[in-house]
Structure 1
Amino acid sequence: MLKESEKTFALLQRIIDSTIILIAWLIAYYVRFNFIPDGQQGLFLDFFKVGLILIPISLYFFDKFELYKSQRFSSRFIEILNTLKANFFSFIALIVILYFLKFERLSRIHLAIYFSISSTILLVTRITIRNFLRTLRAKGKNLRHVLLVGDGKNIENYYHAVKKYKDSGISFMGWIDPPSDTSIQVEKITQSYDEYSKNITPDSIILSYDSSSIDKQKMFLQKNYNDIVPIQLLPDLSFSLVGHQIEEFAGIPILTFNQPSFSSFELFLKRLFDFLASLMGLLIISPFMLMLSIGVKLSSPGPIFYGQERVGINGRKFNMWKFRSMRVANDNEDQTTWSSKEDPRKTKFGSFIRSTSLDELPQLWNVLIGDMSLVGPRPERTFFVEKFKNEIPNYMLRHKMKAGITGWAQVNGWRGDTDLSKRIECDIYYIRNWSLILDFKILLLTFVKGFINKNAY
């Protein structure tokens, strides 16, 4: 029953989106050729035909970005982002098609107005629909009735995740074969699924057994794979700390462990932000960096900058740049020790720029050329990487993402000579939960409390 209503709702959304696209296209035409003075008037019929072409193009990309699938477990931000991405790609596709069709009346102003109007209306509509569904589900309507089966710990994780999404509309019917020590308030069902399903049919089954009971899981799947009720399996991927990816080759599913599941578009946005922000930062603070350069030069003889080999994403080595804070004679004396608070190698000016993190500013160049990111796990020297990878669990997982000038560990106080396991824990949390919003939060916290730190020396 729920499946049919979801199909009906998806069809209704397609109709609404088609209407929005056509109306936005025609409004843009009217604004362009009636409100904006211009000697040449567009032919309405030609533009109307283009609007009709735009509808299937847009619906194709909306479908590709999964906007017609249930959004019960996606955040509002993700839905908004996917809507904008889908509309953008359909917009680009239209421009390409019109170019090859040699549509001579193509107006850049008209296209810009259309994209602005359509994006705005689509977002407002989707937010309105989302709020409407949330209200419905709060009243006990449009619910998905789920049956839990198995003693796996992932079921408890799933339960708590559902409770965080207030508008998911998930209703737990009961739990077959739960662990004896569970504290979850879901009705325990003593019947077998065969007996239970004679009178009640759930919308879906969540199945998960611990490794010690894996035979029960296999038996349940073999017995009920032909059932009309979809079975959703929760595999135990607790060891895949930074995420995983699922691919398919020749019809064979391939699961890659400990691989962040970021899309190429998300990584593109992160890189674009890094490039623009580092470029702007270098331009704005260049006079200040010049003053710091003079300070370094006056503090002791030697070069202004100091490059040191560090290990970055996927183990790739690069030179990380800093303002030199130590005397040249001792700069490369020992690459196997960390700097201490009373390190005699430091100059007075060097102590100042290290304690205020100003020595890190040249790393904006590393960000600009793509060696680093503004936010990410701090890169370490090769010697320490080789040492720690065999001593500290999960250490190498921090290299699954581009190294950063600042990071989640640093803004939480785990900086410098602090508990390394806590820093690794923070790095893994960052990679697993990465988003642009988290990056902005870390940058804000860095400006608020990250530059001057008792562990920065």
Structure 2
Amino acid sequence: MLRSNEKAVAYLQKGIDFFISISLWCFVYYIRFEHFSDAQEGLWNEFLRAGIVMASATVFIFYRKGLYRSFRLRPLYDEVVASLKANCLANLVVVAFLYLVFDDRLSRAVLVGYFFASSVTYVLFRVFLRHLLRRLRRDGKNMRHVLLIGNGAAIERYVRNVKSYSEAGIGFKGWVDSGGLAEKYSIKSLTFSEIEDNERLRPDSFVCGYEGDEVSKLDGILRKIYNDVVPIIVLPDLKYAVVGHDIDSIAGVPAFVLNEPKFSFFDIFAKRIFDILASGVGLLLLSPLLFVLGILVKVSSPGPVFYGQERIGLDGHRFRMWKFRSMRMDTASGGGSSIPGWTVKNDPRRTKIGTFIRGTSIDELPQLWNVFIGDMSLVGPRPEQPFFVEKFKNEIPAYMLRHKMKAGITGWAQVNGWRGDTSLHKRIECDLYYIRNWSLLLDMEILLRTVLVVYGDKNAY
């Protein structure tokens, strides 16, 4: 989708990145072997060959990671993070390759020095390039002119984002079939006949978007413009893609996959390893407390120490979630009855010790075992009883999508105050937000906020 001048910029970037890599490699070599008295001599040719390998691999990995594509509508932060990740990967791959191929081991000081020097330099270069392009676009250069076709929420959101990010250098030639949106955003309203008859209106790309019943118009629109060298961008109607979407190939046919969270194998593996380690350490460290609580529960009223209740987890899987029993055995919830129900404030069913452990949430600690064996995660949407799942799945939009993530002991809803007898709609909104934005850092933030906020929360009954 790059125009010829943007392709030239991409080629120039590759050349500069190669030059940065080889220059820094030689500079770090010079510092290590020319300024230290204990340095070995006669290694220049070997290090130069290794530097060429490093520079070539860096450019290739930067290319594969999309760093030479346009970042017009993406913040500088995204480009910086992508650059650091790609440079880290390039260093790891090349170091592994060099240690396998080269007979003599390369200096670790050079490798470490090069990694930090290149990371800083690549970031500074991209910051400088952003600043340069911003100045050019202010002068009307390096602009991309778009012709809009269609109406609906997706194309309106696109226009709104472009207008709020003026440094992207995107201008609008006009808007065809806007349904009144052109006037709202002060963009020239056009017809197809005007575009066909006026070469000056020829854009750098078409952006098309319809939704609802008007999606059928796309076929006629694309029939008119598909056989053109001008790139075409279609904004699909994704209002039902609540927790994300992806493009896949099914039987060789490109397809949108809706509501499948974009977690890689590494993401899932890392979350599971974190859960196993944290829950295992937690069970060991808290074992004296768990033992004492077990005795207190046992003597508070007749019945078992633990109470297991059937819940719905990942992909609708049923499992038994464990808690310290906090209610008498002859009551509806928390004591072994099959009657479903939620606890309420000043619930008369609680035992004396049950009031304390529910108020401090330590009745949930046995769920560390659920996490350790894989039924739950430390962080995720709270699992619900099958009765309520059946009740709410047809009453609350997107309710079942919360089961796209493994259930958790705590979650985004809980640390934001939507716990216990609170708004179910707000809890679902928080669960879906968590699934869309999941990361290990977010999990750690939620765990920290759980310690600070949830224990003693006014909604914990």
TM-score, structure 2 length as denominator?
0.85
Shift of 1:273: 5.4
Shift of 1:355: 1.9
Task: Please tell me whether the aligned partners of residues 380 and 411 of structure 2 are also in contact (alpha carbons under 8 angstroms).
Answer: yes
3-state SS in 2 of match to 1:206: strand
Q: Distance in 2 between matches of 1:320 and 1:176?
A: 56
3-state SS in 1 of match to 2:344: coil
Task: Please tell me whether the aligned partners of residues 307 and 336 of structure 2 are also in contact (alpha carbons under 8 angstroms).
Answer: no
Shift of 1:395: 1.6
Q: Which runs of 5+ in 1 are unaligned?
A: none
Shift of 1:202: 1.6
Note the 1:256-405 alignment, pairs <5 A.
256-268=257-269, 270-271=271-272, 274=275, 296=297, 299=300, 305-327=306-328, 331-334=335-338, 336-367=340-371, 370-405=374-409
The one-character-per-residue Cα deviations of 1:51-107 (angstroms, maximum 9, x if unpaired) are: 111222222221221111111233334333322332232223223322432533234
Task: Please tell me whether the aligned partners of residues 151 and 181 of structure 2 are also in contact (alpha carbons under 8 angstroms).
Answer: no
Identify the residue that residue 429 of structure 1 maps to in structure 2. 433
Note the 1:85-104 alignment, pairs <5 A.
85-104=85-104
C-alpha root-mean-square deviation of aligned residues, in Å?
3.4
Task: Please tell me whether the aligned partners of residues 242 and 258 of structure 1 are also in contact (alpha carbons under 8 angstroms).
Answer: yes
Shift of 1:289: 5.8
Q: Distance in 1 between matches of 2:362 and 2:42?
A: 57
The one-letter code of the counterpart of 1:350 is G
Task: Please tell me whether the aligned partners of residues 42 and 105 of structure 1 are also in contact (alpha carbons under 8 angstroms).
Answer: no
Identify the residue that residue 255 of structure 1 maps to in structure 2. 256
Note the 1:68-79 alignment, pairs <5 A.
68-79=68-79
Note the 1:98-113 alignment, pairs <5 A.
98-113=98-113
3-state SS in 2 of match to 1:187: coil
Identify the residue that residue 206 of structure 1 maps to in structure 2. 207
3-state SS in 2 of match to 1:199: helix
Q: In structure 2, do the counterparts of structure 1 residues 162 and 276 end up closer, same or farther at CA, with 3 Å as the change threshold?
A: farther
Note the 1:116-265 alignment, pairs <5 A.
116-138=116-138, 140-180=140-180, 184-192=184-192, 194-195=195-196, 197-249=198-250, 251-265=252-266
The one-letter code of the counterpart of 1:403 is A
Shift of 1:239: 1.4
> After alignment, is 361-370 or 41-50 more displaced?
361-370
The one-letter code of the counterpart of 1:177 is D
Q: Distance in 2 between matches of 1:36 and 1:307?
A: 67
> After alignment, is 36-45 or 428-437 more displaced?
36-45
Task: Please tell me whether the aligned partners of residues 33 and 42 of structure 1 are also in contact (alpha carbons under 8 angstroms).
Answer: no
Q: Distance in 2 between matches of 1:370 and 1:39?
A: 53
Percent of paired sites with the same residue = 51
Task: Please tell me whether the aligned partners of residues 156 and 181 of structure 2 are also in contact (alpha carbons under 8 angstroms).
Answer: no
Q: Distance in 2 between matches of 1:3 and 1:439?
A: 41
Q: In structure 2, do the counterparts of structure 1 residues 111 and 139 end up closer, same or farther at CA, with 3 Å as the change threshold?
A: same
Shift of 1:422: 2.7
Q: In structure 2, do the counterparts of structure 1 residues 211 and 337 end up closer, same or farther at CA, with 3 Å as the change threshold?
A: closer
The one-character-per-residue Cα deviations of 1:339-379 (angstroms, maximum 9, x if unpaired) are: 22233442323222322323334444544555434432112
Q: Does 1:453 align with 2:454?
A: no
Task: Please tell me whether the aligned partners of residues 2 and 144 of structure 1 are also in contact (alpha carbons under 8 angstroms).
Answer: no
Q: In structure 2, do the counterparts of structure 1 residues 134 and 411 end up closer, same or farther at CA, with 3 Å as the change threshold?
A: farther
Q: Distance in 1 between matches of 2:274 and 2:29?
A: 33
Q: Distance in 2 between matches of 1:157 and 1:443?
A: 34
Give the length in aligned residue pairs: 457
Task: Please tell me whether the aligned partners of residues 367 and 374 of structure 1 are also in contact (alpha carbons under 8 angstroms).
Answer: yes
The one-letter code of the counterpart of 2:154 is N
